[in-house]
Chains A and B, each alone.
Chain A
């Protein structure tokens, strides 16, 4: 069987109809392919993020990652990440709107199945939770060790991040998969417990996988935190989850 993939940099419309860079990859062929929006972590639109986009394409998804710092001008992704950090990061509402733009971009493609998943890592995991609780047309969300979904110190809230995502749980629009390391400090096991309690309280469909022997960011193959067994199992959780909820016949939750 022939296998091929197209990976390219594209431009989408984000918040306020702004032009936003994005990296996307999809299998060659007519589709229909479900879509996945990949939200990068705070250090930026890096090589690993692009690898994740291509990984989804290899598994039959049309995937896209909007460059959340692309409004900051020309420059390499790491330099723009440094610029974003110096400005205190980007505002939550801008991230959610850019993800909505990426989702809309995927849905308008002729090969789209119409189903859209969102996944994010670290701060992108928090953004995923936030997005799935703010938008109403996401079909499945995957939060990988998103910190500060639970905010214990009110000083962590700011003009750019005014609300703790857990407080929006009642509005979660789709099934949620959470992947966590039990040795992580952000989120802690207790914070994950409280997130799970909120999901139960509101009767949401969710699956949490909590891995022993793993801390934060254990999918990252180029970091000491990498845990091959747990990461392999975790990726299995992701594709199993999306396989069920983004398949053409799966019902909206």
Chain B
């Protein structure tokens, strides 16, 4: 299906795309048909700098299963990192 459901979150950080590094301030997340991945539906994330309105983005299209695994690994890395750096 073509879903209009789109999540957005403000982020602080940088991303590297075809033109090199850029500051990003927004991530747009949606589960819909991919543009490139050979899947019926994918979890898509666009990292952009919405403040400057440029069409440049860093995009990923992930299978639902791998997206869920990624979420778990991000949380695990954050938890481990928090512990490791607690004494810093």
Contact = CB atoms under 8 A, between A and B. Distances in A.
Given A89-B4, A185-B1, A82 B57 contact: yes
Given A42-B4, A86-B48, A222 B38 contact: yes
Given A223-B40, A224-B40, A86 B35 contact: no
B2 A86 contact: no
Contacts of B40: 215-217, 223-225
Interface stretch (B26-34, B68-76, B78-86): B26-34
Contacts of B59: 78, 82
B35 A78 contact: yes
A122 B38 contact: no
B55 A75 contact: yes
B54 to A, nearest CB: 9
Contact of A161 (B4, B33, B35): B4
B-side interface size class = 20 to 34
Contact of A44 (B26, B30, B35, B50): B35
A217 B35 contact: no
A147 B39 contact: no
A86 B33 contact: no
A147 B59 CA distance: 26
Nearest to B26: A86
B55 to A, nearest CB: 4
Interface in A49-106: 72-75, 78-83, 85-86, 88-89
A41 B33 contact: yes
Contacts of A224: 38-40
A82 B59 CA distance: 9
A253 interface: no
B6 A88 contact: yes
A86 B46 contact: yes
Contacts of B66: none
A83 B8 CA distance: 12
6 contacts: A41-B33, A43-B32, A43-B34, A44-B35, A78-B36, A85-B32
A123 interface: yes
A78 B42 CA distance: 14
Nearest to A76: B55
Contacts of A161: 4
Given A186-B1, A223-B39, 20 more contacts: A42-B2, A42-B33, A43-B32, A43-B33, A43-B34, A78-B36, A78-B59, A80-B55, A82-B46, A85-B46, A86-B26, A86-B28, A88-B4, A89-B4, A123-B4, A158-B4, A185-B1, A216-B1, A217-B40, A224-B39
A74 B3 CA distance: 24
Given A217-B33, A217-B40, A224-B39, A43 B55 contact: no
Nearest to B46: A82
Contacts of A83: 55
Nearest to A79: B55
Closest 8 CB pairs of A and B: A186-B1, A75-B55, A123-B2, A42-B2, A122-B2, A78-B35, A225-B40, A82-B46
